[in-house]
A = this chain, B = another copy of it.
Amino acid sequence: MKPDRDAPIGVFDSGVGGLTVAREIMRNLPSEKIVYFGDTARVPYGGKSRENIIRYSRQIIHFLMEQQVKAIVIACNTASAFALEAVRDEFDVPILGVIEPGARVAAAETKNKRVGVIGTVGTVDSGIHASYLKKLDPEITVIGKACPLFVPLVEEGWLHDPVTAEVTARYLQEFKDKDVDTLILGCTHYPLIRSVIREFMGEEVRLVNPAYETALELRSLLEKKELLNTGGKTEEFPYRFYVSDLAEKFRAFAGSILPYDVEMTKKIDIEKY
């Protein structure tokens, strides 16, 4: 059975970070319903193995399929890097990751063909951005750098802070030395410290936020498949949030990303899927 235009979009992440992607979808596809799943019991994915990330992603997609979604966005860069290719053909709905849309824009916009990528250890070590970018333009040089302190700094709320600025300088100096003109923010938390990154890298470097690019790509995809919801909103609040651990942290942090209280969070035993 073909899902209808009215069905929700499934969005998942290792935790709260993917809400920055959900937010872009809400902004750019305002008629769409969203079912969000944050794997707060197993967060973070960044330092974990490919094998486990694939298993986790499959479980979550099974859960989202039960919610009868018409498309799925893997909002987590690490899960996109490790699991997208493995799971894409196993399910009956289109599945989109955040790596490809970001890479496509970076390839289109770099002038000197020197692109930087920052993300978790898992994402950066996977080399997946480089493999997409090289496919798009073999002349592009890709420089990757894992920035494991950025997520805890964001979650601590130190968004405009001398410590964050110092850590940023430490992590990103290499990109200046190597003269990159385009930097992909390859982790969902990083747009939240965009201004600190901008200040260090300077105005001339293009910062790519894959969340925004993914929302645009999702719209094209839904249009192409005749699944775009073009009607008005049918529900007062068309967003549902599920987590695997009911820690208070999710709600608190969600409140700092989304412009409303995320009160209706439900806990799912994700290991059953």
Chain A interface residues (CB < 8 Å from chain B): 40-42, 47-49, 51-52, 121, 148-149, 151-153, 155-156, 162-163, 166-167, 170, 245-247, 249, 271
Contacts and interface: CB of A to CB of B under 8 A. Distances in A.
Contact of A48 (B41, B151, B153, B167): B41
A76 B40 CA distance: 19
Number of copies: 2
Contacts of A153: 149
A151 B155 CA distance: 13
A155 B120 CA distance: 13
Nearest to A15: B47
Contact of A166 (B42, B121, B162): B162
A183 B176 CA distance: 41
Contacts of A246: 49, 51
A153 to B, nearest CB: 7
A163 B170 contact: yes
A261 B41 CA distance: 30
A106 B52 CA distance: 40
Contacts of A155: 148
Nearest to A47: B249
14 contacts: A41-B42, A41-B48, A42-B42, A47-B249, A49-B245, A49-B247, A121-B249, A148-B152, A148-B155, A148-B156, A149-B152, A149-B153, A152-B152, A163-B170
Contacts of A41: 42, 48, 52
Contact of A156 (B40, B149, B162, B247): B149
Nearest to A152: B152
B152 A245 contact: no
